Structure 1
Amino acid sequence: MRLLWQDVPTTARDQVVARLGAPVVAERSQPGGFSPGVASRLALADGRRVFVKAVSAGRNPVSPGMHRREAAVLGYLPEPVPAPRLLHLLDDGDWVVLVIEDVEGTQPALPWRTDQLRQVLTGLERLAPALTPAPPQAPPLQETMKDDFTGWNAFAADPSRLDRFGPWPVTELDRLTALEARWPEAARGDTLLHADLRADNLLLTPAGEVVLVDWPHAAVGAAWCDVLFMMPSVLAAARPAGGLDPETLWAEFGPARSAARDDVDAVLAALTGYFLFHSTLPAPKNLTGLREFQAEQGVAALAWLRQRLERAGA
C-alpha cells in the first residue's frame, strides 16, 4: 500500500525539489513498517541522497499528525543521538513531506540474529545517558499512551473479545487489569524514549553504529521501557525459529537489571493489553497487516508476561 514519490502532488514535489536545489533522478522505496505514504530513498542529480516521507490525510487521517510529531522530535533530539536529521519540512495542511538525512545502513535480519540483537542492546544501553534527562519539549509517556494502554480494561467491558487468545487471560483478567492500572507510575522516568523500536525502525551501519529512525512516538519515561517495548516484536519474529528466552535477553540490558520487577510486570501488562485489544479492532485505512502484526506481538508479549507472573508465584 506504500506510495511512490510520483504519487505526491506535483506542486508539493516541485517545492521540495526547489528546496533541495537538484531534481530527483532515482527512487528506492523502503520495506517494512506500516506507513501508508511515501518512504523512499531519493537520488538527486548532483549525487546527493535523501530520505523522504510523505503522506496525506486522504491516505490515512492519523498519519499526517504522526509526521508532524516526528518533525518536532527531530528538531529537539540531542546531538549525540544516532538518528537522521530533518533537512526540510513541507506541510500544506493536507500533505506533509519530511526530507531527512539518508543513512547508509541495513535493517537487522529477521528472525533476529543473536549478534545483531546484542549489538542493538549494547547500543541502546550506551545511548541512554545521552537521552537523560530528556529535552523539556518531549511529552511524558503517561500522556502519549494514556488512551492506548487501557486494553485489559477494555477487555473487562467486553470479555468475549478475549476468547481468541486462550483461557489464561480470561481467568486472569482481574489481575491483568489491576497490573495495567499501575503502569503510569511504573513507567515514570526522565529518559527520552523512542517508544516504537522494531527491526524496521533500526539501521545497522557499516561502521557498527546503531541508528534509530522513525521518531513520532518519542516520549519521556523509564530508560528500560524502550527495550521492553521492542521485545514482543523480537520474540514474535523468533518464534518460527524456535524462540528466544525473553528473561535471558532482558537481563542483558543494563537498565533492565535495575528495574523493579513489579514495575516491569505492570508496563508489560499494559503493552500486552494494548497489542491484543487493538488487534481485535477493524483495520485502519490503508494500513494493511497492522492488526495481524499487533496480534503476533500481543501473543508473544502475553507468553512472556505469563512466564514472569507464574515464576513470581512459584
Structure 2
Amino acid sequence: MPVPPISGRLQWTDVPSALRTCLEDALGAPVTDTATPAGGFGHQLAAALTLAGGRRAFVKAAPDDDPLTAANVHEAAVLDALPSGAPAPDLLGIHHADGWTAVVIAHLDGPHPDLSPASGDADHTWALLDKLTSSPASAPYAAAVSTAPSTAAALHGWNELLSDPPADLAPSARDRLPQLAELEAAWPALAHGDRIVHGDLRADNMVRDHHRGVTFVDWAHATTGPACIDAASLAPQLVLAGHTPEDVARLLRDHPATASNPDTTTAFLAALTGHWHRNARKPAPPGTPGLRAYQHRAAAAGLAILNHRLAQGCAPGPPGKHHRSPQTSSASHSATPNTSRPSRGWPSTTVRG
C-alpha cells in the first residue's frame, strides 16, 4: 500500500494505469482533466473527472489494502440502498484493477452550501434532516449498513480528560468535567435507533447542486441510529459558520429530530465534543492536513452549544423522562427537499492487473 501523502490526497496520476483505463472504458471517454474539491481529511483519490465531450463524474479510489477502500465500498452500498428522494448522489459503478478499487458517483455541480445566518442553506438542510429522519430506515438501507459497525457509539473523550486535564482546557470545560464525563458515559446505551444517519455531516460533505439543491455527500460513515445524530453533529458547524451558540441551542431544542429525545441529543453532543477535545490534542495522522485545527474549532463550538443546553436544563434525567416536550420548528419546513433521483448507473467491472 502506498504511504499516504503528507500533503493531502492521492492524485489521478497515482492510480494504476489499468484502473484508469478501466474507468475511461466504463465512462465511455478519456479523462481530460481532474479536480480535487476543497475540504475533507482523507488521503484517497477523491476527484471530479472531466471527460472528452464535457461530461463529469466523481471518483474515489485507493489500494485494496487501504482502510479507506472498505469505507468507499460501504459508501457505495449505502448510495445504492438509499430511498428515492434521499439527498444523496447516485452510485454509477464500482471498478477493480491492479489491486485498487474505485467507486464512481454522479457528479454534483455547485458549491458547498453557505451555512451562515445570511443564507437560506441552513434552513434547507434542517428541512432535509427532518424528512430524512421522520420515519424508520428502509430494509435495504438497514441491510447495507449492518455489515459495518457504527463508530458513533464509541465516541468519547471527557473520561480521559477528567483523569488528566490538559493545561489548555477551557475553563468552561474544566469546571464541568465530571458532568461532561457522566453525560458521555450515558451515550452508548442511547446510541441505538432505526433512522438513517449520515454520520459525518459538515458543509464540506454537502453540495448545493444547481439542479437538486443541497445534497449530502461522503456517506462512508452512514449507519442507523437515533434521529438526533446528524442534527446534533451539524449544530457546531452552524456556530463555525457564524450562528450564535444560543440560536443553535434553540434550533436543537425545537427541531423534530432532536426535540423528540433531548436526553439522547445532549448525551451525543457531550460524547462528540469530548471526542473532538481529546483527538485535537493528538498528533495528526499522515495525509490529513488541517484535521487537528478543525477539531479544535469544532470542539469549542460544540462545547458552547452544550453549555447553553445544560443551562437550559437539557441534561438527562431518570430513564423515560425528558426535560423538554417535543416541539416543531417552522424553520424546518421552510424549504422543499429534493424529491427526484435519476436511475441507477452501470454495472460493476473487474480487471485483473
C-alpha distance in structure 1 between counterparts of 2:23 and 2:116, whole Å: 37
Indicate the residue corresponding to 2:288 in structure 1: 287
1:174 Cα offset (Å): 2.1
Indicate the residue corresponding to 2:274 in structure 1: 273
Indicate the residue corresponding to 2:299 in structure 1: 298
1:202-239 CA distances to partner (integer Å, 9 max, x unpaired)? 12233463211100000111112111011112212327
1:110 Cα offset (Å): 5.9
Q: Look up the SS of the partner of 2:142 in the other structure.
A: coil
Q: Identify if the C-alpha distance between structure 1 residues 225 and 65 changes in structure 2 by more than 3 Å, giving closer, same or farther.
A: same
Q: Does residue 99 of the first structure (1) align with residue 99 of the second (2)?
A: no
Code of the aligned partner of 1:96 = T
Code of the aligned partner of 1:185 = A
- The partner residue of 2:27 within 4, 20, 45 is 20
- The partner residue of 1:254 within 253, 256, 270 is 256
Indicate the residue corresponding to 1:63 in structure 2: 68
1:288 Cα offset (Å): 0.5
C-alpha distance in structure 2 between counterparts of 1:67 and 1:100, whole Å: 11
Q: Does residue 192 of the first structure (1) align with residue 199 of the second (2)?
A: no
Q: Name segments (4+ residues, structure 1) moved above 6 Å.
A: none
C-alpha distance in structure 1 between counterparts of 2:37 and 2:254, whole Å: 31
Q: Look up the SS of the partner of 1:103 in the other structure.
A: coil
1:149 Cα offset (Å): 1.0
- The partner residue of 1:7 within 1, 9, 14 is 14
Code of the aligned partner of 2:249 = E
1:114-151 CA distances to partner (integer Å, 9 max, x unpaired)? 411111111221233466346232547x9422674121
Q: Identify if the C-alpha distance between structure 1 residues 130 and 79 changes in structure 2 by more than 3 Å, giving closer, same or farther.
A: farther
Percent sequence identity over matched residues? 34
Indicate the residue corresponding to 2:180 in structure 1: 176
C-alpha distance in structure 2 between counterparts of 1:131 and 1:90, whole Å: 31
Unaligned runs of 5+ in 1: none
Indicate the residue corresponding to 1:37 in structure 2: 44
1:111 Cα offset (Å): 4.4
1:140-180 CA distances to partner (integer Å, 9 max, x unpaired)? 7x9422674121222234x133x322233233222211111
1:47-106 CA distances to partner (integer Å, 9 max, x unpaired)? 422111223479xx5423322221222232223313112212234585332111112232
C-alpha distance in structure 2 between counterparts of 1:313 and 1:130, whole Å: 24
Alignment of 1:44-83 (within 5 A): 44-56=51-63, 61-83=66-88
Check the 8 A contact 1:36/1:287 in 2, yes or no. yes
- The partner residue of 1:237 within 225, 236, 241 is 241
Code of the aligned partner of 1:294 = Q
1:19 Cα offset (Å): 2.0
Check the 8 A contact 2:94/2:103 in 1, yes or no. yes
Code of the aligned partner of 2:159 = N
Indicate the residue corresponding to 1:89 in structure 2: 94
Code of the aligned partner of 1:307 = H
Code of the aligned partner of 1:203 = V
Q: Look up the SS of the partner of 1:164 in the other structure.
A: coil
Check the 8 A contact 2:113/2:206 in 1, yes or no. yes
Q: Does residue 223 of the first structure (1) align with residue 227 of the second (2)?
A: yes
Q: Does residue 137 of the first structure (1) align with residue 143 of the second (2)?
A: yes
Q: Look up the SS of the partner of 2:312 in the other structure.
A: helix
C-alpha distance in structure 1 between counterparts of 2:252 and 2:64, whole Å: 39
C-alpha distance in structure 2 between counterparts of 1:293 and 1:127, whole Å: 27
Indicate the residue corresponding to 2:206 in structure 1: 202
1:107 Cα offset (Å): 0.9
Indicate the residue corresponding to 2:128 in structure 1: 123
Q: Bigger shift: 17-26 or 129-138? A: 129-138
1:299 Cα offset (Å): 0.9
Code of the aligned partner of 2:45 = V
Q: Structure 2 length normalisation: TM-score?
A: 0.78
C-alpha distance in structure 2 between counterparts of 1:104 and 1:131, whole Å: 30
Q: Structure 1 length normalisation: TM-score?
A: 0.87
1:112 Cα offset (Å): 5.6
1:235-260 CA distances to partner (integer Å, 9 max, x unpaired)? 12327xx766212332452222222x
Q: Look up the SS of the partner of 1:182 in the other structure.
A: helix
Q: Identify if the C-alpha distance between structure 1 residues 35 and 13 changes in structure 2 by more than 3 Å, giving closer, same or farther.
A: same
Q: Which structure exhibits the higher relative contact order, with contacts defined as CA atoms closer than 8 Å and separated by 6 or more residues?
A: 2
Code of the aligned partner of 2:268 = V
C-alpha distance in structure 1 between counterparts of 2:57 and 2:117, whole Å: 28
Q: Identify if the C-alpha distance between structure 1 residues 213 and 112 changes in structure 2 by more than 3 Å, giving closer, same or farther.
A: farther
RMSD: 2.8
